[in-house]
Structure formats: C-alpha cells, structure tokens
C-alpha cells in the first residue's frame, strides 16, 4: 500500500454473484431489559444492607471491636450477594444475554467478581480482628478457634482458596500466560467456591439465623442462581442436543492454521440463530470434549447448516482440523449482540481483523441492505491471512456492498487499527477516507481487543455515537 491515498490503495473488491438465504425479520432488543436487570442488581445489594441494619448492624458500631465485627458481617453479606450476582451474570440466560451481550456481561462479571473478592477479604480481616478485640484468645487463638470449632468454617476456607485461584488466574497478565482450556477449567472453581460458602452462612451467619425474612431472601437468591446454572448451562443444551442431534457435515482448511467446520442435523433449525452470533461448541471426538469453546458463525444460517471458522490458537481450536464427518456436536446458544437486532441505521460499517472477519462475513450475507448500505473493512497482516476473502468479494458484488482490504504489519509502538504503510495517517483520518459517512452508520467490530479498541476510538473521533458501535470481546 502506497502513501498516496488510502482509499485508492484499498479499492472495493469485485466478484461473481452468490446466492444467499433471504434474511428473516429480527426484532430489536428492548433496552428496558437491561435497565430492569440493573435495577434488580441494586435492589439485591440495598436489600442486603437493609437486612444488616434491621438486625442491629448500626447499633453495634458503638465500640471498636463490635464495629469491626459488624462491618465484617456487612462486607461478608455484600460479598456473598455479589458472588451470586456474578454467577447469575454468566449463567447464559437467553433474554439476559440478549439484553446485555457477551461483551458487557463479561466486563460486568469481571468488575463484580473483583469487588466481591475484595469485600470477602475485608470480611475475613474485620471479623477476625473484631472477635480478637472482644474475646480472650487473642489474634492467633481466634483464627484457630474459627477454623476448628465454628461449623462450616473448614468448607468456607476451602471455598476461599478456590475463589483465590479463580481471581489470580483472571488477572490480565496471568490470563495471558494460560491456555484457554486451562483458564476455563480453573474458572469453574468459582462455582465450587460459591457452593462451599453456603454452609458457613447457614450455620454461623447471624443475619441468616435470626430473621425469617433474611432466611427466605438468601435461600431464594441461592436457589435462583443454582437453578439458572442447572437449567441454562446444563439442562437446556443437553435437552436440545438429545432431542435433535447435530453432527459434523464437513471440515475444510481455509488457510494454514485456519479451519472451517460445517454442522447439520435436525437440531440446527430449532436453534434459530442469527448471522453474527456465536455458540459454545463441544465436539464429542474424544478427550477434551467437556471444555466448550466460543466460535462465531462465519456464514448466515440457512436453516439446515451452521458454519464456523477458527484459527488454531490452542488445543481446542487445533482439534477442529482433525474432526471427522458424523462427529456428534453439543452447542450452547446462540449468544451475542452482533446481529441485526441491535442495528439502528440503514447504513452499516463492518470491520474485522484476522479471524474476527468471520462474524462480519456472516453479517454481510445476512443483513437486509440496498446497494451502498454496507461497507466492509478487512484487516490482515498478509494477503494469505485474508480469510474468506473470495467469499467476501462475491457477496460484496452481489449485494452492492463496498469491500476494502487493509494489509501489512501493524505500526510499531502505536495502538492502531492501521498497517505500517499507513502510519502517516491518524486512525480517524484513514477511516474517514474509506468511509466518509461513518458518523451516519452503525459500526460492527470484531478482532483482537487492542485492535477493536483502536477502531472504536477512530469511529468515535469521526463522530459515530458510542451507542452505535457494536463489539464483543472474548478475553479480558
């Protein structure tokens, strides 16, 4: 790419026509669903504080020792409530996920989780210091007495250790060093930690034992969260897969280290998936099938088949190349907000980097559009890395869309969505050259987190409102 003019260097592609399934009408996602869930979240937290006040929490603030004990109870209660909220956020309840989207849910899940963990340690420290200050056994004697003599405390200690494992491996630097499969397995200990904390709260929690309202509230909260996980993460996917089997139809290598898998069967039509959405996939081909991996659809569903395309970045993705036709498939979903239901404008910009182009390709095929409504920007390091480029050429020509490719190694020392050959331009200048009316469009993004953030900032700088920029991250 030369330095003369970015728009000239990345000209729209031309190709033969391709027949695509007629998109179905999609209802917009109601905004009040998300607002209602936020209100319910704050109601839970405020109700927990109210119960603490009603059970004498404020009256116990008179002296240092009792104040630490009382505040320790409060931080423990709020930590427990937030832990259950965190579990509920990732229970993959369909209407909840549709309202929030994977990106917002994962970010909120992370913030709530770290807050809950910090409050948990505040609870441990304050309760211990409070009892030590008001009792005869001193600090170390109080710690031993807690662990050995209080009902459920050994289980609570084990639950705290499990939660520590989850939190430590969720820190960005630690997460980057772990394979997705290892991180996912460790993350499941969060459920164990929540479960082990329950007996301690049941047997020794003052707010749980002294008030019938408190007991009903906490039992209801635990039951709702446990039911959501059992129904939507275990029961519903298993029932769907057993009722209507799905199997691998074909496997194809798209490029070195990139594989497409097509699945079909009676269960596909019942899934009611939209272009741009993703599923959690399990292929029953041997050891490792229990770990689900998130893959976006790389083609618009036709009612009979679904296609995914993934780069080999771990054991789970590398296994795709070895799948055989007929292999049984278990799926959870569809999930995600990269679909027509969030669209607010007739004109749309689709930007994908690397393997992140796959949901953009499905959206290009599935969107209702007139000539000129859709523009696609495809970013890759080299021409060989332009996954599905031929299909995108064909679809763009058939539908009257514009298709630009942006190739080359990234600009060193700069967070940008551009290649090195365009380093003389700002991100916003380059985007405005390619799509002068970007401020009037919905913008859909998919790629690595840093690339998406750079593209998002460029769209904002060009005047696109934040609520019209749609993206989903799978790593944090």
CATH code of the domain in which 413 resides: 3.40.50.80
Q: Is residue 414 reached through a cis peptide bond, with omega within 30 degrees of 0 on the bond before it?
A: no
DSSP-assigned letters across all residues of 162-201: HHHHHHHHHSHHHHHHS-HHHHHHHHTHHHHHHHHHHHHH
Report how far residue 357's alpha carbon sits from residue 213's, in angstroms, rounded to the nearest whole number: 52
**Residues 365, 405: one domain?**
yes
pLDDT at residue 128 greater than cutoff 60: yes
Report how far residue 295's alpha carbon sits from residue 312's, in angstroms, rounded to the nearest whole number: 12
pLDDT at 43: 93
The residue written with tokens 């993959």 in the block is 92
Q: Within a domain: residue 1?
A: no
The pair of three-digit structure tokens given for residue 380, joined into one six-digit string: 């890759």
Q: Is the CB of residue 428 less than 8 Å from the CB of residue 391?
A: no
The pair of three-digit structure tokens given for residue 234, joined into one six-digit string: 């275990």
Report how far residue 8's alpha carbon sits from residue 1's, in angstroms, rounded to the nearest whole number: 9
Q: Within a domain: residue 233?
A: yes
Range of the domain at 357: 6-25+339-471
**Residues 57, 203: one domain?**
yes
**Residues 130, 213: one domain?**
yes
**Residues 408, 344: one domain?**
yes
Average pLDDT, integer, range 51-71: 84
Q: Within a domain: residue 476?
A: no
**Residues 286, 222: one domain?**
no
Q: Which of 4-18, 246-260, 303-317, 449-463 has the lowest mean pLDDT?
A: 4-18
Q: Within a domain: residue 103?
A: yes
Q: What does the pLDDT look like over 197-207, one tens digit per residue?
A: 766 766 666 56
**Residues 282, 371: one domain?**
no
Q: What spatial distance separates the first Cα and last Cα of the chain, rounded to whole Å?
A: 33
The pair of three-digit structure tokens given for residue 339, joined into one six-digit string: 């679909």
For 255: left if phi > 0, alpha if psi spans -120 to 50, otherwise beta; the answer is: beta
Q: What does the pLDDT look like over 319-331, one tens digit per residue?
A: 899 999 999 998 8
Please choose, from the candidates 315, 317, 313, the residue with its C-alpha nearest in 3D space to the C-alpha of residue 261: 317
Q: What does the pLDDT look like over 342-390, one tens digit per residue?
A: 888 999 999 999 999 999 999 999 999 999 999 999 999 988 889 999 9
Q: Is the CB of residue 245 less than 8 Å from the CB of residue 298?
A: no
Q: Within a domain: residue 234?
A: yes
Average pLDDT, integer, range 387-405: 94
Q: Within a domain: residue 54?
A: yes
**Residues 423, 283: one domain?**
no
Average pLDDT, integer, range 87-94: 82
pLDDT at residue 22 greater than cutoff 50: no
Average pLDDT, integer, range 284-310: 88
Q: Is the CB of residue 476 less than 8 Å from the CB of residue 110?
A: yes
Q: Where are the alpha helices (DSSP H) in 234-330?
A: 236-243, 266-271, 315-318
- Final residue of a domain: which of 335, 365, 390? 335
pLDDT at 386: 92
pLDDT at 396: 95
Report how far residue 364's alpha carbon sits from residue 404's, in angstroms, rounded to the nearest whole number: 13
Max Cα-Cα span within the chain: 85
- Which of the four pLDDT bands, split at 50, 70 and 90, describes residue 18? very low
- The total domain count for the chain is 3
Tell me the three state secondary structure of residue 380: strand
**Residues 275, 180: one domain?**
no
The pair of three-digit structure tokens given for residue 408, joined into one six-digit string: 């080359």
Report how far residue 402's alpha carbon sits from residue 392's, in angstroms, rounded to the nearest whole number: 10
pLDDT at 26: 54
pLDDT at residue 6 greater than cutoff 50: no
pLDDT at 319: 86
Q: Is the CB of residue 214 less than 8 Å from the CB of residue 51?
A: yes
**Residues 198, 330: one domain?**
no
- Final residue of a domain: which of 319, 335, 351? 335
- Final residue of a domain: which of 295, 311, 335? 335
Q: Is the CB of residue 443 less than 8 Å from the CB of residue 470?
A: yes
The pair of three-digit structure tokens given for residue 116, joined into one six-digit string: 């809950």
**Residues 49, 191: one domain?**
yes
């Amino acid at each position: 790419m030369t330095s003369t003019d970015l728009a000239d260097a990345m000209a729209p592609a031309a190709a033969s026509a391709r027949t695509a399934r007629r998109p179905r009408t999609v209802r917009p996602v109601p905004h009040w669903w998300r607002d209602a869930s936020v209100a319910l979240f704050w109601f839970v937290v405020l109700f927990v504080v109210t119960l603490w006040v009603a059970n004498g929490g404020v009256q116990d603030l008179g002296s240092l020792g009792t104040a630490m004990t009382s505040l320790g109870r409060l931080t423990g209660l709020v930590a427990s409530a937030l832990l259950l909220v965190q579990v509920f956020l990732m229970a993959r309840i369909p209407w909840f996920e549709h309202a929030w989207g994977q990106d917002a849910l994962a970010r909120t899940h992370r913030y709530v989780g770290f807050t809950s963990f910090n409050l948990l340690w505040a609870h441990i420290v304050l309760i211990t210091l409070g009892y030590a200050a008001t009792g005869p056994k001193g600090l170390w004697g109080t710690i031993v007495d807690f662990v050995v003599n209080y009902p459920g405390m050994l289980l609570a200690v084990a639950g705290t250790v499990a939660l520590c494992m989850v939190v430590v491996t969720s820190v960005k630097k630690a997460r980057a060093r772990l394979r997705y499969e290892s991180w996912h397995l460790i993350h499941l200990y969060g459920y164990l930690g929540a479960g082990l904390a329950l007996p301690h709260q049941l047997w020794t929690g003052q707010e749980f034992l002294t008030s019938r309202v408190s007991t009903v509230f906490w039992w209801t909260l635990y039951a709702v969260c446990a039911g959501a996980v059992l129904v939507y993460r275990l029961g519903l996917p298993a029932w769907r897969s057993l009722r209507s089997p799905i199997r691998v139809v074909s496997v194809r290598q798209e490029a070195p280290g990139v594989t497409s898998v097509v699945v079909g069967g009676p269960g596909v039509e019942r899934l009611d998936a939209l272009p741009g959405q993703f599923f959690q996939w399990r292929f029953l081909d041997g050891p490792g099938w229990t770990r689900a991996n998130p893959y976006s659809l790389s083609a618009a569903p036709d009612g009979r088949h679904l296609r995914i395309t993934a780069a080999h970045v771990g054991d789970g993705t590398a296994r795709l190349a070895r799948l055989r036709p007929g292999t049984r498939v278990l799926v959870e979903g569809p999930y995600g907000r990269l679909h027509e239901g969030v669209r607010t404008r007739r004109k749309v910009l689709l930007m994908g980097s690397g393997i992140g182009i796959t949901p953009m390709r499905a959206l290009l095929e599935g969107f209702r559009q007139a000539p000129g409504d859709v523009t696609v920007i495809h970013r890759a390091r080299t021409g060989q890395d332009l996954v599905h480029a031929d299909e995108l050429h064909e679809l763009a020509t058939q539908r009257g869309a514009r298709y630009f490719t942006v190739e080359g190694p990234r600009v060193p020392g700069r967070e940008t969505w551009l290649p090195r050959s365009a380093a003389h331009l700002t991100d916003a200048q380059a985007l405005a050259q390619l799509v002068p009316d970007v401020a009037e469009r919905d913008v859909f993004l998919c790629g690595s987190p840093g690339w998406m953030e750079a593209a998002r900032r460029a769209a904002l700088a060009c005047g696109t409102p934040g609520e019209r920029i749609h993206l989903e991250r799978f790593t944090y």
